[in-house]
Amino acid sequence: MKQLETKLEKSLKEIIQEAFSLESFNDDLQFQSTRKEFKGDITLVVFPLTRYSKTSPEVTAEAIGQQIIEKSNLVVDFNVVKGFLNLSISDEYWQEAIVNALEEKGSFGINTAKDGPKQMVEFASPNTNKPLHLGHLRNIFLGDSLSRILKAAGSEVYNVQIINDRGIHICKSMLAWQKFGERETPESSGMKGDHLVGKYYVIFDKKYKEEITELVEQGVDKEEAEQKAPLLLEARKMLQDWERGEEEVVALWKMMNEWVYQGFDATYDHIGTSFDKLYYESDTYLVGRDKVLEFENKPDFFRKDDGSFWVSLEKEGLDNKILLRADGTSVYMTQDIGTAMLREEEFHCDHYHYVVGNEQDYHFKVLKLILQKMGYSWADGINHLSYGMVDLPSGKMKSREGTVVDADDIMREMEETAAKTSRELGKIDELNEEEQNELFQTIGLGALKYFILKVDPKKNMLFNPEESIDFNGNTGPFIQYTHARIKSILRKVGTADIKTGNSLIELGEEDRSVVKALLQFPEIIKEAAEQLSPAHLANYLFALVKDFNHFYQNTPPLIKEEEESVKQFRLALCELTAAVIDRGMGMLGIRVPERM
């Protein structure tokens, strides 16, 4: 629709200048889509123009409307509603726009100039003491989709993740396996490596709580018991041994981490996402420690009496922030500083997007401030894409207690639900077993991704598996089914053979709705990239599919259409709609089937 606004703006500026006897008129005009209850395609907001016309908004709009009808073939009718001038655009314009879009079907909506900023998206970034869960899936889906949208909008994009592979939580899994594991391996247990390691994280917590209870029964204060429980003391010693590089502990750490990495890779492969670069906390915390020490004698950086190293953020209205403990060891902030510097040295991006839950809002605000205080101008490009938590109808999830919804399990359950629903609806009759299994995966994973991505990232959300798999309403399967329906039409009737200059047809309201929705696609991609919101794209696709289904149900079947020009134009709408659904869902990381 931006192209339409650009065309209109030139004519309207000349009309406004002449109609109100102005020496010149260079103000930007305000356009918006005409509301559905009024006739028209695009609306000019007239209120700002009354200072030139010196008349009421209605009189101003009427004068402009009369002139545009007389002087432009683009506008065929108008109506005035208070201070709004609703313009009806010619059928010829809409048909030519669809022909042009269809000719560039392979790249329609995509910024092929690739002239956007260089951007990095960090997402996933799990701990190596447990498998990925439903909360991680929201993170991964957001990061992967954002990356795809930014690329479509013209940016060079790098996907990265930081692997949280060190710390006391990692040692808890290691210690529990060492004490209770009886040398169990992924191969001997038949479990994915990340699931096996997560099992021992839960076992540690269970045994740790038993020790606390025993100490409390012996008369020890609960808080003291939590700090003196033998298992926790052993885990702390194991962390110290790891940091000193003790060979046996490091070997155990490497072995169990490798199990986890293999499990993560299998999950990422199933999801359909990948990374250009992996960073490991076990490397970056050392870089961060060395970097912050370079600022020891700089303003706002100081040591306390105990030897710990801090930065003052009081000028910014925040607390002081510790960077190194009294014993010289790093904190999370320090390793994030190191990671950020490594990335800038290697990639030199304009924007660095951290896809991390909203419980870390303060952390990333402080990270950006510290790097700016260090004098790094590139830190201005740091952005925290903060997102809300995912809960289930049964309540919140807790990793330590083993009550999280495992990512692999939820994806498998979604595919099983897709299979059950598809069989009940009779949507697989023409498919062989291999095609059926592929379809179930496509529908199940698509339902999960779409249900999560259609929600604004900043909002907390409740995930309802049954609601997400519905073949009606604002769901992935509904959009996928529409794509398959269009493909079926094209197989039966053929693809469009439409060119500029073909006989014009009179567009009905159903035609115009689909045309206008399709032509919004390039702007939607741009807006989704600017807003860093896949939800903007997801909900556009749902609106497009609703318009198409209304068109499909309220126009004669194409296979029976006798007027060739009408048939070819409506085939063009079908073909372009399928292409937009395919490309748009692809930016959400969702495949669309040819048959359902």
171 and 85 within one domain = no
For residue 500, the model assigns a pLDDT of 55
In a domain, 391, yes or no: no
Q: What percent of the chain has pLDDT over 70?
A: 97
Determine, yes or no, domain membership for 189: yes
Radius of gyration, CA atoms only, the chain: 30
pLDDT, tens only, 523-574 = 999 999 999 999 999 999 999 999 999 999 999 999 888 899 999 999 999 9
Q: Does residue 400 register a pLDDT over 50?
A: no
Write down which residue in 229, 254, 275 finishes a domain.
Answer: 275
The pLDDT confidence band at residue 394, using thresholds 50, 70 and 90, is: low
If one compares 392 and 235, the residue with the highest pLDDT of the two is: 235
pLDDT band at 397 (very low <50, low <70, confident <90, very high): very low
What's the number of domains the chain is made of? Answer: 3
443 and 554 part of one domain: yes
Do 438 and 545 lie in one domain? The reply is: yes
The enclosing domain of 52 has a CATH number of 3.30.1360.70
- Give the pLDDT confidence of 172-211 residue by residue, as tens digits: 999 999 999 999 999 999 999 999 999 999 999 999 999 9
The enclosing domain of 463 has a CATH number of 1.10.730.10
Specify whether 179 is located in the same domain as 32.
Answer: no
In a domain, 255, yes or no: yes
**Mean pLDDT of all residues in 490-504:** 78
In a domain, 335, yes or no: no
Say whether both 67 and 185 belong to one domain: no
Question: Can you tell me which residue has the tokens 């209109």?
Answer: 8
Same domain for 449 and 534: yes
Residue 59 tokens read as 């009189």
**Residue 151 falls inside a structural domain:** no
- Measured CA to CA, the distance from residue 98 to residue 93 in angstroms comes to 9
CA distance 529 to 521: 12
Over residues 442-457, mean pLDDT: 96
Q: Are 429 and 560 in a shared domain?
A: yes
- Residues contacting residue 69 through CB under 8 Å, at least 6 positions apart: 75, 76, 77, 78
Is residue 342 assigned to a domain? Answer: no
Query: Confidence band (pLDDT; 50, 70, 90) for 402?
Result: very low
Residue 518 vs residues 97, 213, 330: alpha-carbon distances, Å: 10, 64, 52
pLDDT at residue number 501: 54
Answer with the one of 260, 275, 290 that is the final residue of a domain.
275
DSSP H helices in 378-507: 407-425, 433-453, 465-468, 476-493
Specify whether the CB–CB gap between 201 and 399 falls below 8 A. Answer: yes
Can you tell me the distance from the alpha carbon of 73 to that of 89, in angstroms, rounded to the nearest whole number?
9
How far does the chain reach from its first CA to its final CA, in angstroms? 32
How high is the pLDDT of residue 391?
81
Q: Quick check: 421 and 469 in contact, CB under 8 A?
A: yes
**Is 74 in the same domain as 176?**
no
Structural domain includes residue 122:
no
Q: Considering 58, 89, 120, which residue would you say is the last residue of a domain?
A: 89
180 CB-near residues (< 8 Å, 6+ apart)? 200, 203, 207
Task: Assess whether 459 and 544 both reside in one domain.
Answer: yes
Return the ∠ at Cα 357 (arms to 455 and 268), rounded to 5°. 80
Looking at the fold, whether 36 and 184 belong to one and the same domain comes out as no
Q: Quick one: angle between helices 281-293 and 332-347, nearest 10?
A: 90
pTM for the full model?
0.92
Cα–Cα distance list, 545 to 303, 329, 484, 541 (Å): 61, 55, 12, 6
pLDDT average, residue stretch 383-392: 91
* Strand (E) or helix (H) holding 351: strand 351-357
pLDDT at position 401 is: 47
Q: For 52-84, how does the pLDDT look when each residue is reduced to its tens digit (9 = 90+)?
A: 999 999 999 999 999 999 999 999 999 999 999
The reply to whether 61 and 183 lie within a common domain is no
- Do 532 and 434 share a domain, yes or no? yes
Q: What is the pLDDT of residue 497?
A: 83
How does pLDDT run across 11-40, given as a tens digit for each residue?
A: 999 999 999 999 889 999 999 999 989 999
SS3 at position 328: coil
Please state, in angstroms and rounded to a whole number, the distance separating the CA atoms of residues 345 and 86: 53
Domain that holds residue 495: 407-587
The answer to whether residue 246 sits within a structural domain is yes
Q: What is the pLDDT of residues 299-311, one digit of tens each?
A: 999 999 999 999 9
